[in-house]
Amino acid sequence: MRDKVFVSSQFKLIHRNTPRLKLDIEAQPDFVFVYLINGKANLNFEDEGKSVSSSSLLILNAGISANINGLSIEVVSMTVSPVYVLDCAVRTKLVKADARITFHSNLIENNSRIAKLFENIVEELSQKEFGQEIIISALIEQFIVYLLRHYASVQRSNELELSRVGLIDRRIRRAVELMHSQLERELSIEELASAAYLSPFHFSRLFKKLTGATPHAYLASLRISRAQNLLAETDLSITQISARVGYSSSSHFTKAFRQVTGLTPKDFRSANVGAKIFS
């Protein structure tokens, strides 16, 4: 069974059936969900190590890092935009659009409802039929709503605002917008801090406190996310994509990409099952 990738503006899915899995997930702005369908894996997150087996869901809130490794594994990894999660919460009347949502469980094991949803997701990924995007999106929405019902924690904050780059703390919004608009450039701490009208020292401390990630780790995650979209939606070469997301060499880009996704950029592109939108 070959790897399957599905990319949309709100979420990214990777289904792998692999003899060896090794993922290094750095602190990032998105939610990350990793569902172990078959096999056993070792998880390390928040200074905690745990061995898990089939039918286990790892939940990483934004800003949380993790390492996952194992042998003979079937797994689905998914990144989901916080804006999408918030939109689902607003539409289900859980919150208004002024809240930060997290999930209070890091690990959910042997949940039959979640198992069925991922079974349906994997089945749909394997079928190249019309309407695939609609069905996968509906399944992801069901999954998010189920988690919101049973595992959501809500924090309201006057410091949050919805910008063109998503829900972000207004104290660092300008710096985050600069990252999104200048992914191809080397951005120094001084330049990012200046955008936020803070000293480099106070900016770095505040950014880590608010996002859980250092500014450069956050920027790296944005670059890999943008690269995934470009690989799935354009016919740009890997060298061109590497340059567009700020890597000086294709080899450095490939190494960073593989650490996060478990796939090389070439394998990621060939595994894509979604519709391509050539620019």
73 in any annotated domain? yes
| Per-residue confidence (pLDDT) for residue 158, from 0 to 100 | 66
> 3-class DSSP state for residue 202?
helix
**Neighbouring residues of 143: CB distance < 8 A, sequence distance ≥ 6:** 33, 114, 117, 118, 121
118 in any annotated domain? yes
Is the same domain home to 138 and 207? no
Contact 140/121 with Cβ under 8 angstroms? yes
Of the residues 156, 178, 212, the one at which a domain ends: 156
> For the whole model, what pTM was predicted?
0.88
Query: How do residues 30-44 score in pLDDT, each as one tens digit?
Result: 899 999 999 999 998
Is the same domain home to 189 and 104? no
8 in any annotated domain? yes
276 in any annotated domain? no
Query: How do residues 119-173 score in pLDDT, each as one tens digit?
Result: 999 999 988 788 899 999 999 999 999 999 999 988 776 666 666 666 677 888 8
Q: What is the CATH number of the domain that holds 124?
A: 2.60.120.280
Question: Domain span at residue 101?
Answer: 4-156
Is the same domain home to 14 and 137? yes
State the average pLDDT for the chain: 89
Is the same domain home to 116 and 199? no
Contact 38/84 with Cβ under 8 angstroms? no
Of the residues 156, 177, 206, the one at which a domain ends: 156
Q: How far apart are CA 242 and CA 246, in angstroms?
A: 6
Alpha carbon 27 to its chain centroid, in Å, reads 10
Q: How far apart are CA 122 and CA 136, in angstroms?
A: 9
175 in any annotated domain? yes
Q: How far apart are CA 159 and CA 169, in angstroms?
A: 5
Of the residues 156, 182, 208, the one at which a domain ends: 156
